């Protein structure tokens, strides 16, 4: 069966609807600073992710995206700054903050010898979620893995593994979903499918924060993006408004390809054309 694509107008209307109904902040990051020894990797970064929105942290390699995410997830202790998840301070109310966030783990984090059902049961147990046979079947159906339920995780395709890791991030129905470069390495079909899943989650009221270096992804799926480079947020806006704001600025738009100004032109203009490693 072919997946139904949500038309642009449809998704914009849905977005307007969800944004007006759900406007509560699910993630607030204020003046975040992360150091590795003497190296200042994240510098005074601030942004907010609301319920019912897909927020992209967009930046080249080494910009500081994963460092920001790791601070939110509690995997590293920042130098300074305030982080609140669903209103809970990640430092002083860590358990409540964590209960409200879902983190998509890398495929390499899972035991390749366990089968899909075993992995789902294991993580449901960790999160304290009761997983009945019916609920398990529904989950497997929803991610088109009914037949693959008894397959070992290591035998699944990249797209299938990615669907399992996303469903695990959602198993306790968190308000905030965090995805670090979720579509890297996926083929175009799997990437489209993930975008549709993210839109469905957004329309259910979840707040989603993803990191990406793909302008195409940011333009296609993000309601708002923060462009980050050398640890600093340069600009935060909707992809459309970022383009409009800089469209006529020759300092930013130095060259566009094929005459059409895209988010990539703005991004290159703001972050420079030097290749990062
Ligand atoms: N554990 C670490 N120790 C030292 N430097 C690090 C560490 N993790 C990341 N960095 C450095 O911090 C900067 C930001 O890294 P990162 O947050 O991973 O960027 P991104 O995810 O945007 O590619 C980079 O210069 C990177 O080399
Ligand atoms: Mg990274």
> Given this model, what pLDDT does residue 258 score?
64
Note the pLDDT tens digit of each residue in 232-259. Answer: 999 999 999 998 888 888 877 776 666 7
Cα–Cα distance for residue pair 108/268, rounded to 1 Å: 32
Choose the residue to mutate in 42, 60, 64 for probing ligand 1, maximizing ligand atoms within 8 Å of C-beta: 64
The answer to whether the beta carbons of residues 210 and 57 sit under 8 Å apart is: yes
pLDDT at 43 over 60: yes
Q: Mind listing the pLDDT tens digit for each residue in 89-143?
A: 999 999 999 999 999 887 778 999 999 999 999 999 988 899 999 999 999 998 8
- CA–centroid distance, 107 to ligand 2, in Å, is 15
What protein residues have CB closer than 5 angstroms to ion ligand 2?
65-66
Q: Do 142 and 204 touch, CB atoms closer than 8 A?
A: no
Going from N- to C-terminal start, the domains of the chain cover 1-100+175-238, 110-173
**How many residues are present in the chain?**
277
**pLDDT confidence of residue 62:** 95
Closest ligand 1 atom, CA of 228? 22
Q: What torsion do the CA atoms of 263, 2, 207, 54 make, to the nearest 10 degrees?
A: 0
Q: Describe the crossing of helices 116-127 and 133-142 by its angle, rounded to 10 degrees.
A: 120
What value does the mean pLDDT of the chain take? 88
- pTM score: 0.86
- Min mean pLDDT across 121-130, 165-174, 266-275 is at 266-275
Q: What is the DSSP letter of 152?
A: B
Atom from ligand 1 closest to the CA of residue 181: 21
Separation between Cα atoms, residue 130 and residue 273, nearest integer Å:
50
Nearest protein CA to atom 24 of ligand 1, as residue = 62
Assess whether pLDDT exceeds 50 at residue 224.
yes
What own/partner pairs with CB < 8 Å and gap ≥ 24 does 185-192 have? 185/158, 186/158, 186/159, 186/162, 187/158, 187/159, 189/159, 190/158, 190/159, 190/162, 191/217, 192/3, 192/5
Report pLDDT for 256. 65
The best mutation among 36, 60, 71, 72 to test binding of ligand 1, ranked by most ligand atoms within 8 Å of the C-beta, falls on 36
pLDDT reported for residue 2: 42
5 has pLDDT over 50: no
Question: Could you tell me the pLDDT band of residue 1, with boundaries at 50, 70 and 90?
Answer: very low
Instruction: List, chain by chain if needed, residues with CB within 6 Å of any ligand 1 atom.
Output: 36, 39, 41, 59, 61-67
Q: Ligand 1, from 34, 38, 41: best to mutate by most atoms within 8 Å of Cβ?
A: 41
CA dihedral defined by 139, 159, 119, 127, rounded to 10 degrees?
-70
- Third-level CATH fold of 1-100+175-238: Rossmann fold (3.40.50)
Element (H, E) at 23: none
In whole angstroms, how far apart are CA 228 and each of 47, 70, 164, 212? Answer: 11, 15, 29, 11
Beta strands (DSSP E) in 170-223 are 176-180, 207-212
């Amino acid at each position: 069966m072919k997946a139904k694509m949500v038309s642009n107008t449809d998704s914009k209307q849905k977005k307007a609807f969800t944004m007006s109904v759900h406007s509560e902040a699910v993630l607030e990051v204020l003046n975040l600073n992360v150091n590795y020894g003497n190296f200042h990797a994240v510098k005074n970064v601030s942004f907010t992710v609301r319920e019912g929105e897909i927020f992209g942290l967009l930046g080249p390699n080494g910009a500081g995206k994963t460092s920001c995410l790791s601070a939110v997830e509690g995997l590293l202790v920042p130098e300074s700054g305030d982080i609140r998840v669903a209103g809970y301070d990640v430092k002083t109310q860590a358990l409540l903050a964590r209960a409200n966030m879902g983190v998509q783990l890398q495929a390499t984090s899972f035991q390749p010898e366990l089968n899909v059902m075993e992995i789902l049961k294991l993580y449901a147990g960790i999160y304290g979620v009761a997983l009945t046979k019916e609920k398990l079947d529904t989950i497997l159906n929803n991610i088109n893995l009914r037949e693959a339920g008894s397959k070992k995780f290591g035998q699944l395709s990249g797209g299938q593994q990615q669907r399992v890791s996303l469903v695990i991030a959602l198993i306790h129905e968190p308000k905030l979903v965090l995805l670090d470069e979720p579509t890297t390495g996926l083929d175009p079909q799997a990437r489209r499918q993930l975008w549709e899943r993210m839109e469905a989650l957004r329309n259910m009221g979840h707040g989603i924060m993803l990191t990406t270096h793909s302008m195409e992804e940011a333009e296609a799926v993000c309601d708002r993006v923060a462009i980050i480079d050398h640890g600093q947020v340069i600009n935060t806006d909707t992809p459309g408004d970022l383009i409009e704001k800089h469209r006529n600025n020759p300092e930013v738009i130095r060259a566009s390809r094929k005459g059409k100004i895209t988010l990539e032109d703005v991004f290159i203009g703001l972050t420079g054309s030097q290749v990062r490693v």
